[in-house]
Amino acid sequence: MTMPYYASAEQVMRDRSEYARKGISRGRSVAVVTYADGVLFIAENPSSSLHKVGELYDKIGFAAVGRYSEFESLRVAGVRLADVRGYSYNRRDVTGRVIANAYAQTLGAIFTEQMKPYEVELCVAEVGDTPESDQLYRLTFDGSVVDEPDFVVMGGQADAVTGHLREHFHVGLGLSDALQVGVRALSAVSPVTAGSANGGSAGRLTAAQLEVAVLDRRRPKRAFRRVVGSALRTLLGDEQPAPDDRQGAERAAHAPSVTEPGTPPGLGDPANPDTVGGAEGTDD
Amino acid sequence: MNESSAGRSGFPPAYLDRVGSSFTDFLATTAPDLLPGRRPIPQLPVGELAPHGTTIVSVTYDGGVLMAGDRRATMGNLISSRDIEKVYPADSYSVIGIAGAAGIAIEMVRLYQVELEHYEKIEGLTMSLDGKANRLAAMIRGNLGAALQGLAVVPLFAGFDLDAAAGAAPGRIFSYDVTGGNYEERGYAAVGSGSLFAKNSLKKTWRHGLSAQAATRTVVEALYDAADDDSATGGPDPVRRLYPIVYRVDAEGAVRLADAEVAAVADAVVAERSAAERDDKQREG
């Protein structure tokens, strides 16, 4: 009779954790930062179609790092859960906590039951009516869930970015300031800017290397909005506002709709590019 | 299996399958009881027991499309509601109006709104206007059994086509029949009990390239004419301040016109008609 190889449960879990951690730290970082009017997602992501940040529901957003195929299927599951729940109950009955719990259970089950854990780390963010009611849930590969204040950094050299943010972040920043603080923190550790040789932005990530989105509590129904193109460049301080430039190239034929159906366009402040309502040439 | 089974082990397996971006198809596998088309069909005609929505009209104009609906729902010979809303935004660039069994119709509209938003969130893109029109046809097709027992739902769908070729009219209207037939209309369309009279009115008042303001008057007047001859269509109600619901869809998205704006148009139509009537009387007398 042959004896099966014995590995203690402790050893198995340690190996799996290490495997998942390695996978996650290989990628690039994502920062989720609260600001005065909501939550800001900043991802270092050169792809404009393989998103790390997405919309789950009216007031709930999603950010992830790690293996794309794994977190994408989790994102889709979250959208499905939110939509089924909102359809069978009411839109107000969909909360970030419900979705975060489902993620935690799923990740926990996969971590303990399957050979290979998911190499992902997620953040479920929800905006409320006031900054105090905003929620950021961080979910790790083993299914643990933490409710974090102020900001969450995941993936890559998350500790270094967190340290940088801790120094420069403070509560109640405006959108532009929060974005600059976040981007500087990501740039400080990014291998892309390490040489500091590329471009004139003094070793800072450029709009093309970033994926940025906000959950804006002032928007009437669907708070999630991507910030792309010249709206992003303007917020980064890379260029002066150029209203003509907002139409055209950035505006894909089927850009996701941005207005709440039935709301008058231009509900934001037209002078301020980050509050644009449903006007032609919206920056999504 | 339904949503509540997202219990101890998190998402049920169907949630994690990366297949399909249709909400309706997803419900069909996970919670079919939530779908309007999956219920037992009544064995007897029940049309008299359920409130029915009546007239919806839609016209294109130079910058997009308008849709308007009266506010009446009827149950047999009774008025079951004076202030029902029968035109809804489907998403940012399209609107849907419904005639027929109100309960099923409103449920269908809710499902359709989630269907479009769900696709948009999962795909990161909005569906093409033709795609949206087809999805709605599939939903109507599923209701044929109930339709034969008096619970027909007949929608009117209109939207702004973001892919319209240069020079082509961006506002487009689609009408449906109870079997799910889907027909693109040219210029104007109407559904519901008063649609015959509304269409006759539109035939005389609608032309190519109307301005938004003139088109608003056209649809309000068509509903007035429908209410004139069809007992199931409600006219403007100045006593309760109830006026038709009008949605405009243009390059900036779907907007519901303010009640005050519609009231002003409706009052102008009424004033003009009564002035014409007075003139006739004077000439006779």
Neighbouring CB atoms inside 10 A of A29's CB total: 22
Out of A54, A84, A280, closest to residue B27 by CB:
A84
Residue A56 reports pLDDT greater than 70? yes
Q: Which amino acid is at A114?
A: Q
User: For the ranges A255-269, B4-18, B70-84, which has the lowest average pLDDT?
Assistant: A255-269
Name the CATH code of domain A38-253+272-276 (choices 3.20.20.100, 3.40.50.2300, 3.20.20.120, 3.60.20.10). Answer: 3.60.20.10
Query: Band of the pLDDT at B242, cuts 50, 70, 90?
Result: very high
A267: nearest CA partner in chain B:
B252
B50 versus A240: the higher-pLDDT residue is B50
Q: Is some CB atom of chain B closer than 8 A to the CB atom of A263?
A: yes
Q: Is some CB atom of chain B closer than 8 A to the CB atom of A255?
A: yes
Chain B residues 120-159 within an 8 A CB cutoff of chain A: 120-122, 124-128
A242-267: average pLDDT: 43
User: For the ranges B6-20, B156-170, B190-204, B265-279, which has the lowest average pLDDT?
Assistant: B6-20
Closest CA to B14 of A84, A40, A204: A84
Out of B92, B124, B163, closest to residue A51 by CB:
B124
Residue B146 reports pLDDT greater than 90? no
Residue A253 reports pLDDT greater than 60? no
**Can you give the pLDDT at residue A250?**
41
Residue A278 reports pLDDT greater than 70? no
Which burial class, exposed, middle or buried, applies to B9 when counting CB atoms under 10 A from its CB (0-12, 13-18, 19+)? middle
List, for residues B28-73, the tens digit of each pLDDT value. 889 888 888 788 888 888 888 889 988 999 999 999 999 999 999 9
Taking one residue from A and the other from B, the number of pairs with CB-CB distance under 8 angstroms is: 127
**Assigned CATH topology for domain B47-284:** Glutamine Phosphoribosylpyrophosphate, subunit 1, domain 1 (3.60.20)
Helix (H, G, I), strand (E, B) or coil at A225: strand
Sheet of A120-126, strand order: A53-57, A60-66, A120-126, A135-139, A145-148
The pLDDT mean for chain B works out to: 91
List, for residues B259-283, the tens digit of each pLDDT value. 999 999 999 999 999 999 999 888 8
Instruction: Determine the Cα–Cα distance for residues A223 and A58; give it in Å rounded to an integer.
Output: 6
B90: nearest CA partner in chain A:
A261
**Can you give the pLDDT at residue A249?**
39
Q: In degrees, to the nearest 5, what angle opens at C-alpha A177 toward C-alphas A173 and A183?
A: 120
Name the phi and psi angles at B110, rounded to 5.
-60, -45
A7-26: average pLDDT: 90
What residues in A contact B16, CB-CB < 8 Å?
Answer: 73-74, 76-77, 106
Adjacent-strand bridge partners of A148: A136
Query: Band of the pLDDT at B177, cuts 50, 70, 90?
Result: very high
Q: Is some CB atom of chain B closer than 8 A to the CB atom of A264?
A: yes
Active-site annotation holder among B29, B30, B54, B55: B54
Q: Is some CB atom of chain A closer than 8 A to the CB atom of B80?
A: no
List, for residues A111-133, the tens digit of each pLDDT value. 998 889 999 999 999 999 999 99
Q: In degrees, to the nearest 5, what angle opens at C-alpha A111 toward C-alphas A27 and A106?
A: 95
**Can you give the pLDDT at residue B168?**
84
Residue A83 reports pLDDT greater than 60? yes
Query: Band of the pLDDT at A263, cuts 50, 70, 90?
Result: very low
**Distance to chain A for B95, nearest Cα, Å:** 9
List, for residues A195-218, the tens digit of each pLDDT value. 554 444 457 898 999 999 999 999
Residue B4 reports pLDDT greater than 60? no
**Can you give the pLDDT at residue A3?**
66
Chain A residues 34-63 within an 8 A CB cutoff of chain B: 49, 51, 54-56
Chain A residues 184-223 within an 8 A CB cutoff of chain B: 222
A234-255: average pLDDT: 55
Helix (H, G, I), strand (E, B) or coil at A108: helix
Residue A234 reports pLDDT greater than 80? yes
Chain B residues 30-49 within an 8 A CB cutoff of chain A: 30-31, 34
B25: nearest CA partner in chain A:
A80
* Per-residue H/E/C for chain B: CCHHHCCCCCCCHHHHCCCCCCHHHHHHHHCHHHCHHHCCCCCCCCHHHCCEECCEEEEEECCEEEEEECCCEEECCEEEECCCCCEEEEECCEEEEEEEEHHHHHHHHHHHHHHHHHHHHHHCCCCCHHHHHHHHHHHHHCCHHHHHHHHCEEEEEEEECCCCCCCCCCEEEEEECCCCCEEEECCEEEECCCHHHHHHHHHHHCCCCCCHHHHHHHHHHHHHHHHHHCCCCCCCECCCCECCEEEEEECCEEEECCHHHHHHHHHHHHHHHHHHHHHHHHHHC
Q: In degrees, to the nearest 5, what angle opens at C-alpha A13 toward C-alphas A10 and A16?
A: 150
**Can you give the pLDDT at residue A197?**
46
**Distance to chain B for A275, nearest Cα, Å:** 15
What residues in A contact B2, CB-CB < 8 Å?
Answer: 88
Q: Is some CB atom of chain B closer than 8 A to the CB atom of A283?
A: no
Active site residue B179: no
B123-146: average pLDDT: 92
Q: Is some CB atom of chain A closer than 8 A to the CB atom of B111?
A: yes
Residue A75 reports pLDDT greater than 90? yes
Query: Band of the pLDDT at A265, cuts 50, 70, 90?
Result: very low
Helix (H, G, I), strand (E, B) or coil at A245: helix
Q: Where are the domains of chain B?
A: 47-284
Closest CA to B129 of B90, B176, B162, B96: B162
**Can you give the pLDDT at residue B265?**
96
CB under 8 Å to A165, separation ≥6 — which residues? A31, A33, A151, A153, A181, A182, A185
Tell me what percent of the residues of chain A surpass a pLDDT of 90.
61
